[in-house]
Structure formats: structure tokens, C-alpha cells
Amino acid sequence: MVQYMQYKYGKKRPAFEVKVLTVLGIDPGYAILGYGVLQTKGGHAPRALDYGVIETTAGEPFPKRLETLYLGVRQLIGLYKPDQVAFEELFFYRNVTTALQVGAGRGVALLAAQQAGLPLYEYTPMQIKLAVCGNGHADKKQIQQMVRLLLGLQTIPKPDDAADALGVAICHANTSGPAVEEYRIR
């Protein structure tokens, strides 16, 4: 929304512009990929537009599961037309096979966003906890409760992957500004 001021000679110039930013947050996975879509307007508290998960079926061939994730992310991008997409960085996994599969799921989500021409950002779990809770060592329950409070939701978003994805989006919305470029995926 832009408000205009009248100047001499009938020219109109913007007095101020309220920036609306729509962010798609993604918590990567291959069985369950969490997503959260939120919108911020010129420094106001963000509001959740949607959140949930894209689930794949156990027992399906792995390439089919990746296709499901890819198409799901493309559908979300088409539906909400986000300005930016934020991802949680992969962290430590004890099981190498699981880490590779989660990495592949993250990869197809990145590909879907890249093909849409969207700016991509990534944050570590500690950065997300710090942005959402003010404590880089917050536990899962604290994060979920803060996500609920910050977005004015009646209940904690379920499943956990959806709450985590909203946390990623909140982190990005709180971080976006001139310094956000350091988090951009290059």
C-alpha cells in the first residue's frame, strides 16, 4: 500500500511505502517436509497465512517421494507467490542414510524455489532458536510456544515440522533487512 503526497505541478510522489513481505519457510525432510507461509507488513508482527506438511508414503520408491516433495513445494509457491523462501540448514544426523535422504528432500525443495526465481535463504537451528525465542539453546517446546505467541495462534501448530517451518519463516522475517544477504544461498 502506497500513500501519496501532492507536490507542485500536480506530480504525485510516494510519502511512504509499506512493504509487504510474504515468506515461505521450509523445514526439510523426505518423509515429512514442514512448511509455513507468513506475511509481514512494514514492521508489524507477522501473521501466518498457512502452515502444514507435505508427506510422502513409506514404502514408495525414493524417487517418487522426492517428486511428491518437489511438486508440493511448487504448488505452495504457485498458490502463495512468496517473495522469499527460507530453509533450515541441515544439522547433524547420526544415521548417514537418513542424512542423505533428508538432503535429497531439501535439494528438491531448493530446486523448486530456484526454478521459480525466488531468493533463497538458510538459517542454522541455533539462529532460528535465537530469532524466535531469544535463546539459541531453546528446546522444541519453547520454540513451538513462541511461534504460537508471535503469530497469535490459538494452538501450537501441529505437526512439529509445521511449527519448525513457521519458526524458519519468523527467523527470516526478523532477520530480513540490509544484513540478510549474508544468509542468502549462493
CATH of 2-183, one of 2.40.110.10, 3.40.50.720, 3.40.50.1110, 3.30.420.10: 3.30.420.10
17 is catalytic: no
181 noted as active-site residue? no
Reported confidence tier of residue 76, pLDDT bands at 50, 70, 90 = very high
Band of pLDDT at residue 13, cut at 50, 70 and 90: low
Is the pLDDT confidence value at 160 over 70? yes
Burial class (CB in 10 A: 0-12, 13-18, 19+), 34: buried
Where do the structural domains in the chain lie, given as residue ranges? 2-183
The answer to whether 27 is a known catalytic residue is: yes
* Mean pLDDT (whole number) for 61-74: 97
152 phi-psi bin (left φ>0, alpha ψ -120 to 50, beta other): left
The per-residue pLDDT for 94 is 72
Beta-carbon count within 10 A of 180 CB:
14
Q: Of residues 17, 55, 88, 182, which has the active-site annotation?
A: 88
Of the residues 17, 89, 161, 182, only one is catalytic, namely 161
Q: Which of 17, 27, 60, 181 is catalytic?
A: 27
> Phi-psi category of 53—alpha, beta or left, where left has phi over 0 and alpha has psi -120 to 50?
beta
- Ranking 37-51, 85-99, 117-131, 162-176 by mean pLDDT, the lowest is 85-99
